[in-house]
Chain A
Amino acid sequence: MSASVRGRAWFERLTGKARPVEGLPPSVLAADATIEGHAVRVIAVVPDPSARFERARNGEMGIDEGFGVAAAVNATPAGSAILAIVDVPGQAFGIREEAIGLQRSLAASTQAYIRARRGGHPVLTLVVGKAISGAFLAHGLQGGWIGAIDDAGIEIHVMSEAAVARVTRMERDDLTRVAKEIPATARDIRTFATFGAVDRIFAVSDPDAPGDADIADVVRALAEVLRTPEIGCRNPRDRLDVPAALHTRTLARRVREELQAQWDA
Chain B
Amino acid sequence: MTTMLLTESFAERGARERARALLDPQTFRELIGPFERIASPYLAAQGVVPQSDDGTVVARGTIGGVRACVVATDGRFLGGSIGEIGGAKIAGALELARRDAQRGTPTRMVLALDTGGIRLQEANLGILAVSEICDAIVALRELMPVVAVIAGRVGVYGGLSLSTALCSEIIVSEGARVGLNGPDVVETESGIEEMDSSDRPLIWRVTGGRLRLRQGFATELVSDDVPAIRDAIARAFETPNELGPLVAQVFPDPRLARDDFLRAMEIQP
Contact = CB atoms under 8 A, between A and B. Distances in A.
Interface string B181-196: 1010110111000110
Given A103-B180, A134-B180, A255 B246 contact: no
Contacts of B265: 99-100
A94 B124 contact: no
Contacts of B165: 101, 103-104, 106-107
B36 A118 contact: no
B36 A103 contact: no
A67 B248 contact: yes
B135 A100 contact: no
B147 to A, nearest CB: 16
A142 B135 contact: yes
B31 A258 contact: yes
A67 B136 CA distance: 21
Interface stretch (B8-16, B83-91, B220-228, B230-238): B83-91
A258 B38 contact: yes
B262 A185 contact: no
A127 B215 CA distance: 34
A252 interface: yes
Interface string B157-176: 01101111110000000000
B94 to A, nearest CB: 10
Interface in A151-204: 156-160, 163-164, 166-168, 178, 181-186, 191-192, 195, 197
A141 B125 CA distance: 13
Contacts of B189: 93, 160, 163
B227 to A, nearest CB: 27
20 contacts: A53-B254, A63-B248, A97-B180, A97-B181, A98-B207, A101-B217, A104-B165, A107-B163, A111-B134, A133-B158, A137-B127, A142-B135, A158-B123, A158-B159, A159-B120, A181-B45, A235-B139, A252-B87, A252-B129, A259-B93
Most buried by A among B126, B131, B161: B131
A167 B162 contact: no
A148 B139 CA distance: 27
Interface of A: 52-55, 63, 67, 70, 74, 91, 93-108, 110-112, 114-115, 118, 133-134, 136-138, 141-142, 156-160, 163-164, 166-168, 178, 181-186, 191-192, 195, 197, 235-237, 239, 249, 251-256, 258-260, 262-263, 265
Given A251-B41, A262-B31, A185 B124 contact: yes
Contacts of A251: 38, 41, 84-85, 88
B16 to A, nearest CB: 16
B24 interface: no
A133 B159 contact: yes
Interface of B: 29, 31-32, 36, 38, 41-42, 45-46, 58, 60, 84-85, 87-89, 91-93, 95-96, 117-118, 120-132, 134-136, 138-139, 142, 158-159, 161-166, 178-181, 183, 185-186, 188-190, 194-195, 206-207, 211-212, 215, 217, 243, 245-249, 251, 253-255, 258, 261-262, 265, 267
A119 B123 CA distance: 29
B82 to A, nearest CB: 10
A185 B212 CA distance: 33
Contacts of B180: 91, 97-98, 101-103, 106, 134
Interface of chain B, main secondary structure: helix
B96 A96 contact: no
Contacts of A254: 38
Contacts of A163: 185, 188-189
A138 B165 CA distance: 12
A-B pairs, 4 with minimum CB distance: A107-B165, A255-B88, A103-B161, A93-B189
B136 A237 contact: yes
A114 B135 contact: yes
B128 A98 contact: no
Contacts of A55: 190, 194
Contact of A265 (B29, B42, B92, B128): B29
Interface of chain A, main secondary structure: helix
Contacts of B188: 163, 166
Contact of A107 (B85, B118, B166): B166
A112 B138 CA distance: 10
A95 B212 contact: no
A263 B96 contact: yes
B127 A108 contact: no
B228 to A, nearest CB: 24
B32 A262 contact: yes
Nearest to B97: A263
Contact of B262 (A67, A99, A183): A99
Contacts of A184: 42, 84, 121-126
A185 B121 contact: yes
Given A184-B125, A237-B91, A237-B135, A104 B217 contact: yes
